[in-house]
């Protein structure tokens, strides 16, 4: 490790956030993690009496996001790394899923992350130092029936992340979108919001997908601790990537997607070019 950093991670009660916090603490970093209740706060701070700090925060609460960042920078000092990890998956056929569920999906996965980014950016820009890591998903590249709202939110965060990286590069700041494949966390278990089925026309397409995801929960190929170590590698890098896939499933599926997309672009090239002039 090059030097100890202050790493701020949203959503450290379980999954990637918890694993990353533990690995970062083991590597000697100072970690501020957000949780959503007092018990989780105590559990997190017990991980390390000197270097683990927890704050209660729901990332949809804009005023609280700003308050927490300001308080941490005033008391603990500059945040070197922000990891926007807090998020959840909505599962449901688009026609069956209320718009309100889409709004909430975007409120947490997109607006929550951007709120945190806007809170840390002034300080990072003034210091000409900082790294923002957004946990997106392979669902920010590939799609599957039944996760339109989730994929929409992760595509959005991928695009925002890549754009932001170009905006802050002149200041020496780094932005990385980390896109995991399927990992053994609480994502497809307690954290997932599943819209109940209503339209029989979708049964044949979607029921097997829902059942397979439920059956696979807890048995996914990815290990969150290994993901945490990979994220620490980019935190320690002087030249971190704009995008990082995690897991061989993500690698295979995203490569397939890019090849299919490229072939489709080629197949329609003449029509695409026909609109110039």
Give the separation between CA 14 and CA 16, rounded to whole angstroms: 7
152 interacts with ligand NAP by CB under 6 A: no
60 interacts with ligand NAP by CB under 6 A: yes
36 interacts with ligand NAP by CB under 6 A: yes
Selected from 7, 86, 116, 121, the binder of ligand NAP by CB under 6 A is 86
Site mask, ligand NAP, residues 109-148, x = CB under 6 A? --------------------------x-x-----------
- Torsion of Cα atoms, 74 then 72 then 235 then 46, to 10°: 140
14 interacts with ligand NAP by CB under 6 A: yes
Selected from 130, 146, 180, 240, the binder of ligand NAP by CB under 6 A is 180
Q: Given phi > 0 = left and psi -120 to 50 = alpha, else beta, which region is 146?
A: left
DSSP state of 93: -
**Rounded least distance, CB 80 to ligand NAP, Å:** 21
Instruction: Using the minimum distance from each CB to ligand NAP, give the nearer residue, 15 or 165.
Output: 15
191 interacts with ligand NAP by CB under 6 A: yes
Two structure tokens written together for 42: 């105590």
Whether the CB-CB separation of 126 and 173 falls below 8 Å is answered with: no
**Count of residues binding ligand NAP (CB under 6 A)?**
29
16 interacts with ligand NAP by CB under 6 A: yes
Give the separation between CA 213 and CA 211, rounded to whole angstroms: 5
Selected from 102, 158, 185, 231, the binder of ligand NAP by CB under 6 A is 185
Backbone angles phi, psi at 28, to 5 degrees: 100, 0
Two structure tokens written together for 53: 């700090």
């Amino acid at each position: 490790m090059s030097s100890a950093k202050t790493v701020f991670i949203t959503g450290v009660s379980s999954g990637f956030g918890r694993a990353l916090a533990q690995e970062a603490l083991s590597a000697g970093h100072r970690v501020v993690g957000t949780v959503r209740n007092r018990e989780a706060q105590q559990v997190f701070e017990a991980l390390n009496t000197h270097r683990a700090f927890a704050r209660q925060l729901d990332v949809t609460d804009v005023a609280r996001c700003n308050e927490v960042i300001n308080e941490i920078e005033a008391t603990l000092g500059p945040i070197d790394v922000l990891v926007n990890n807090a998020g959840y998956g909505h599962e449901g056929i688009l026609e069956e899923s209320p718009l309100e569920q889409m709004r909430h999906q975007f409120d947490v996965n997109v607006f929550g992350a951007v709120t945190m980014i806007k809170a840390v950016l002034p300080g990072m820009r003034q210091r000409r130092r900082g790294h923002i890591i957004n946990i997106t998903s392979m669902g920010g590249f590939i799609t599957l029936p039944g996760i339109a709202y989730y994929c929409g939110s992760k595509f959005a965060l991928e695009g925002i992340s890549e754009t932001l990286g170009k905006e802050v590069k002149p200041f020496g700041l780094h932005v990385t979108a980390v896109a995991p494949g399927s990992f053994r966390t609480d994502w497809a278990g307690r954290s997932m919001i599943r819209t109940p089925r209503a339209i029989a026309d979708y049964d044949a397409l979607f029921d097997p997908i829902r059942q397979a995801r439920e059956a696979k929960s807890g048995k996914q190929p990815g290990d969150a601790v290994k993901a945490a170590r990979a994220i620490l590698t980019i935190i320690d890098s002087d030249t971190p990537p704009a995008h990082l896939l995690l897991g061989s499933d993500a690698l295979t599926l995203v490569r397939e997607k890019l090849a299919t997309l490229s072939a489709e672009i080629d197949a329609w090239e003449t029509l695409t070019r026909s609109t110039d002039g």
